[in-house]
Amino acid sequence: VGVGAADVAKNLGANINFVHVSSHTRETDKSGELRFNNERSLYYWKLMERLNPNLYPEEELLALPDDQELISELAAVTWTQLASGRKVTGKDDIKKKLGRSPDKADAVMLLMAEPVGLASVKVFAGDNPFYST
């Protein structure tokens, strides 16, 4: 959600984790070798890592729903290597490519910002629940 909605929720007593995806980060990838241009790039990379069974045991992998919009949004993400680190495709560029905002991909990407580890998610697609831990 945007800052305005987050402020209202916080004032109502909700536990809010403010995330500024344009902020610089010193955090690296799982290997400790790759650096990132900003937090948005870091979180998209962490998302990619959480989908890779070669990097995490099955119980730590993120399970995504069979949602074609989400899949197309995630597939639209590309990378550029800069002196300051890896940079994910800008949101405006993804909007141009898709003809719409990548809201679903951004929502999943923001799960990687959870301060105490990956958030638990339960997504229902019809009668089929998809879980992540």
* Domain assignment present for 4: no
Quote the domain boundaries for residue 64: 24-132
* Domain assignment present for 13: no
pTM for the whole structure: 0.78
* Domain assignment present for 1: no
* Domain assignment present for 92: yes
Q: Mapping DSSP to helix (H, G, I), strand (E, B) and coil, where does residue 80 land? A: strand
Q: What is the rounded CA–CA span in Å between residue 47 and residue 14?
A: 25
pLDDT tens across 22-37, in order? 899 999 999 999 999 9
* Domain assignment present for 67: yes
82-89 mean pLDDT: 94
Q: What is the domain count for the chain?
A: 1
What local confidence, expressed as pLDDT, does residue 7 receive? 79
**Shortest CA distance to 115 belongs to which of 1, 17, 10?**
17
pLDDT of 133 over the 70 cut: no
* Domain assignment present for 9: no
